């Protein structure tokens, strides 16, 4: 089999990965539209014509790009989210969409818990001040006996729950399609309003909907000083409402790994001294990258060489 396959995730286009050899060994030519960067629409428009496959990251894949991708048969994500893809346009062109289900769940789950603990103990704030020669402390809280709210109890959310339970936390989760077989001691499902109201920290692990989950109205129902962790999608949060909640103290700390644009432009929210930032690194571990890449490559071959 021959043809071109576009590879766009930054974790692969800059450094490559041994699993990509499974494609070249079968005669495919690999193209990198923007090595080491998230490709722009212009980058994609130049690269995707003639590609039969696409190992895709989180870059927007709209109808204009898809219309230029003549001959494209499959888009294989190295993750699970597909909200960056115009699914209707892909379906109209007969392009299969494949996902690396669960491949980066552990990496994202561990980062979410890391961000929660960093927020509880003000680790980034303390580190920044000490590096600047300023000896200051903010009193923290301990995780044990605190309540963690999880919005979205799929593969990632369930692993977050298991880690939190092992630390002695109470965990309450919301999911529109709850899995009754997931019932560890200390965990229970509840509706979204209750999850937001009773939790000392809330972590999001769900795709975005038509409206943000965290708005001025919903933030007002949460515990004063709540910690918010977002490793899912920036669209889950109303930025203006969250900035106001940080200023008032209603939200104690926001820890986010996701942004509307990557890299994000400067903003009052991101500059706030009670905001912790990581550069969309949830699935960027050696193990997660390996699992996700192999799964994405296998999914491409499954479609191209059934």
Active site residues per annotation:
233, 262, 280
SS3 104: coil
| Alpha-carbon distances of 282 from 104, 107, 113, 229, 231, rounded to whole Å | 8, 6, 11, 12, 7
133 by Cβ neighbours in 10 Å (0-12 / 13-18 / 19+) ranks as exposed
Count CA atoms within 13 Å of residue 221 on its CB side: 13
Beta pairing, strands 201-204 & 275-277: unpaired
- DSSP reduced 3-state for 226: strand
Strand-pairing partners, residue 15, are none
The answer to whether 99 touches 207, Cβ cutoff 8 Å, is no
Q: Please give the angle made by the CA atoms of 178, 180 and 182, to the nearest 5 degrees.
A: 95
Q: What is the DSSP string of 9-72?
A: -HHHHTT--GGGHHHHTTTEEEE-SSTTSPPPHHHHHHH-TTEEEEEE-SS-B-HHHHHH-TT-
Inter-CA distances, 70 with 36, 45, 48, 50, 204, Å: 25, 11, 8, 6, 37
Q: Return left, alpha or beta for 260; rule: phi > 0 is left, psi -120 to 50 is alpha, else beta.
A: alpha
| SS3 readout for 242-262 | HHHHHHHCCEEEEEECCCCCC
Helices 105-120 and 123-131, packing angle to 10 deg: 60
Q: What does DSSP assign to residue 236? A: G
DSSP 214: B
């Amino acid at each position: 089999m021959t043809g071109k396959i576009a590879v766009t995730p930054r974790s692969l286009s800059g450094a490559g990965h041994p699993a990509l050899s499974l494609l070249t060994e079968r005669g495919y030519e690999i193209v990198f539209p923007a090595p080491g960067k998230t490709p722009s629409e212009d980058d994609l428009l130049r690269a995707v014509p003639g590609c039969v496959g696409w190992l895709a990251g989180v870059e927007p894949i709209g109808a204009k790009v898809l219309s230029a991708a003549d001959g494209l048969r499959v888009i294989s994500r190295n993750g699970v989210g597909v909200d960056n893809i115009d699914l209707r346009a892909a379906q109209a062109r007969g392009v299969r969409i494949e996902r690396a289900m669960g491949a980066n769940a552990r990496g994202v789950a561990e980062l979410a818990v890391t961000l929660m603990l960093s927020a509880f103990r003000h680790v980034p704030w303390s580190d920044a001040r000490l590096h600047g020669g300023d000896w200051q402390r903010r009193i923290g809280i301990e995780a044990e006996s605190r309540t963690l709210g999880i919005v979205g109890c799929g593969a990632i959310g369930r692993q977050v729950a298991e880690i939190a339970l092992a630390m002695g936390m109470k965990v309450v989760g919301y999911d529109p399609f709850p899995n009754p077989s997931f019932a560890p001691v200390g965990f229970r499902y509840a509706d979204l309003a209750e999850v937001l109201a009773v939790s000392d920290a809330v972590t999001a692990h769900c795709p975005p909907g038509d409206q943000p989950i965290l708005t001025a109205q919903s933030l007002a129902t949460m515990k004063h000083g709540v910690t918010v962790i977002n490793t899912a999608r920036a669209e889950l949060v109303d930025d203006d409402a969250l900035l106001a909640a940080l200023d008032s103290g209603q939200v104690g700390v926001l820890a986010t790994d996701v942004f509307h644009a990557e890299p994000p432009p400067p903003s009052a929210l991101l500059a706030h001294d009670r905001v912790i930032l990581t550069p969309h690194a949830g699935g960027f571990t050696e193990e997660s990258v390996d699992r996700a890449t192999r799964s994405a490559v296998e999914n491409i071959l499954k479609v191209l060489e059934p």
